[in-house]
Chains A and B, each alone.
Chain A
Amino acid sequence: MIVASRTGQALLGVAALAIASMPFWASSWHMQLVSTALVGALLALSLQLLVGGTGLVSLGQAGFFGLGAYTVYLLGSPPVWIALPAAMAAAGAAALLTGTLALRTRGFFFLMTSLAFGQMMFFAFHDTGLGGGSDGQFIARPFLGFALSRQNRPAALLLANLTVLTIVYAALCWLMGTAFGHALQGIRSNENRMAAMGHNVQRLKLAAFVLSGALAGLAGHMSVLTDGFVNPGLLDWHRSAEALLMILLGGIGALHGPILGAFALTAVQEAGSLLTDRPRLIEGAVFLAAVLFLRHGLAGRRR
């Protein structure tokens, strides 16, 4: 997995500035749409640490995403400086627990075990009264530290989401350059060799899994902040699959791939709903084309 070149990072920076300037020229609807894409990008980026970073394909990421969101609800929407770390901690703890078990398996079995754990979390909120039942709950958004009117809320949330995504992306860029990052890349290309070289592969994988889970929880927190709504659908495995799609669309070989993919997917879905009454047809056709012909994603052929 590559980190974007200097030119690439500069282009990403320009895109971020363009988004940051949206409050001056875009409608509140479009700002909300971009916020949705930013939250999706955050979720996909958390998963990229596993998929592109460590070579672990998980189909349970939405479980941690939803758990982060529900943490905000269960704590009764505290201010953001409590809600945000709490969401990350809860999702990270769940990842520690399930990762310890799931990482005993490999390949296809890991995929299925992660799916099963994700679905367990889904059912825990869907079938019990724990999170307000299967219909979901509307909740007050965590307090950001300053008063928000309804008019300036879309802009403020857009900037908050952009800031969080930028920080997480920068942190992951740094992380992939550290010894830990190199070790994860080593596991991705050849796990046995890394073990033979004396690395504690299980520990490294678990660390990546927990970090990834905590970041997914952060994404879930941002989703609640954006929508003011929790629903078991946040934990549904379809959402995990969508996060994988974002990675594939954007490019599995690049750290910034999921960000491109999240925007591409949001655009495809929005275009699908505007242009036809059968959005799934468009979505399905785009995925099929992507998986058949776009094997290295929007980020290109390099790896």
Chain B
Amino acid sequence: MLAGLLAQVLNGVQYGLLLFLIGSGLTLIFGVMGVINLAHGSLFMIGAYLAFAVAGATGQFWLALPLAIIGGAALGTVLERLLFRRFRTRPHMDQVLLTFALILLFEEARSAVFGNQFHSVAIPAGLDFSVPVVGGFRYSAYRLAVLAICLAIAAGMVWLIERTRIGSAIRAAAENAAMLDLLGVDATRIHRLVFAGGTALAMLAGALAAPLQSVYPGMGDGFLILSFIVVVIGGLGSVAGAFWGALLVGMTDTMAKAYVPQAGGIAVCAMMAAVLIWRPAGLSGRG
């Protein structure tokens, strides 16, 4: 029983950290640019399909990770340049509709390029074994590796945001857009950087998740809602808030699914409602 619980905690942390990769980009894009991006889940899906394509063509899964980052940054730059820049000052409603249209178009493009089958990405050869964790329950080495990678990225992001010049500019922008001009920073550059970075993180998360779950149409949908909940719980524009929010969501979701499966979907939404009633602007308290 205790062993089972420990295993569930591990599952919750691993799931939560993956959510953090998606949610941290989302929270920065909203915090800094004020844009709601419903297509963020589609970017996750694109990352997973990229991993599928790269692993299939070259047999080198690891190659997919840098490619997801580079490709994500490129795609993010293009999207920001062509569309999102113009929607910064538009009402939320227009942003919702723009990004809903993007979901439809990304799904259709995915269907045209890859078809509609479920695909599977093999776990990279070096990590295709499992490690005994507790009480005879074994845990996949690749899952542990994903956990480590996510933690490393989270640490890197905190360092970037808290300790560097560009990070302080991003924090300032999330705090108050007008501050940027006072600091003498080019706001457009910050926007492009944040959007490209967020897209890259979502695609990296997709690539990392590909061997853990099948690659299939609409796979980003579930992650989209959960990562929005992460953003709201954590507070807009707060990377640290997104981190704790992601762990909370990952843990709640895993525990609910394990012990009260019928309430699996409701539990996370209920938790978010509870947090908002307690702190209407999320845990980090701004907004």
Question: In the complex, what's the smallest C-beta–C-beta distance from B284 to chain A, in angstroms?
Answer: 13
Is the C-beta of B63 less than 8 angstroms from some C-beta in chain A? no
Which residues of chain B in 237-287 are interfacial with respect to chain A, using CB atoms and an 8 Å cutoff? 261-266, 269-270, 272-273, 276-277, 280-282, 287
Q: Is A287 in the interface zone, CB < 8 Å from B?
A: yes
A288 on the B face (CB < 8 A): yes
B111 in contact with A278 (CB, 8 Å):
yes
Q: How far is the CA of A122 from the CA of B268 in the complex (A)?
A: 13
Would you give the 0/1 interface string for A280-303, flagging 1 where the beta carbon is closer than 8 Å to chain B?
110111011011100100000000
Q: Report the Cα distance A205→B263, complex, angstroms.
A: 30
State the CA gap A281–B105 with chains docked (Å): 6
Given A101-B276, A127-B262, A241-B96, A284 contacting B104 (CB threshold 8 A): yes
Is the Cβ of A280 less than 8 Å from the Cβ of B100? no
Q: A127-B263, A248-B93 are in contact. Are A108 and B272 (CB under 8 A)?
A: no
- The digit string for A141-184, where 1 denotes a CB below 8 A from any CB of B, is 00000000000000000000000000000000000000000000
User: A230 on the interface (CB 8 Å rule)?
Assistant: no
CB distance from B167 to the nearest CB of A (A): 23
A71 beta carbon closer than 8 Å to chain B: no
Known contacts A127-B264, A284-B101, A288-B98; is A117 also within 8 Å of B269 by CB?
yes
Contact A116 B272 (CB under 8 A): yes
**B265 & A116 in contact (Cβ 8 Å cutoff):** no
Specify which of A57, A101, A113, A116 is in contact with B91 (CB 8 Å cutoff): A57
Q: Could you say which residues of chain B place their CB within 8 Å of the CB of A80?
A: none
Closest CB in chain B relative to A243 CB, distance in Å: 11
From known contacts A123-B265, A288-B105, infer whether A109 and B93 are also in contact, taking CB-CB under 8 Å. no
In the bound complex, residues from chain A placing their C-beta under 8 Å from that of B145 are none
Given contacts A113-B232, A248-B97, contact A278 B112 (CB under 8 A): yes
Q: How far is the CB of B79 from chain A (nearest CB, A)?
A: 12
Is B193 positioned at the interface, with any CB of A under 8 Å from its CB?
no
Residue in B97, B103, B107, B270 with the greatest tally of chain A CB atoms within 10 Å: B97
Please measure, in the bound complex, the distance between the C-alpha atom of A56 and the C-alpha atom of B102, giving whole angstroms: 23
Q: Does A51 contact B (CB under 8 A)?
A: yes
A283 and B112 in contact, given A57-B93, A113-B273, A291-B98 (Cβ under 8 angstroms): no
Contact B92 A109 (CB under 8 A): no
User: What is the CB-to-nearest-CB distance from A67 to chain B, in angstroms, rounded to a whole number?
Assistant: 14
B232 touches A119 (CB 8 A): no
Q: A101-B277, A108-B236, A116-B273 are in contact. Are A124 and B96 (CB under 8 A)?
A: no
Q: Is A104 in the interface zone, CB < 8 Å from B?
A: yes
Taken together as a complex, chains A and B put the C-alpha atoms of A126 and B222 apart, in Å, by 14
Residues of A within 8 A of B276 (CB): 101, 104-105, 109, 113
Whether A280 contacts B107 in the complex (CB less than 8 A), given A109-B281, A112-B229, A245-B100, comes out as: yes
Which residues of A103-148 are within 8 A (CB) of B? 104-109, 111-113, 115-117, 119-120, 122-124, 126-128
Can you spell out 10 A-B residue pairs with CB atoms less than 8 angstroms apart? Answer: A106-B280, A108-B30, A116-B232, A123-B265, A237-B225, A241-B100, A278-B112, A280-B107, A284-B101, A288-B98
Q: Which 5 A-B pairs have the closest CB atoms?
A: A123-B265, A284-B104, A287-B101, A284-B105, A120-B269
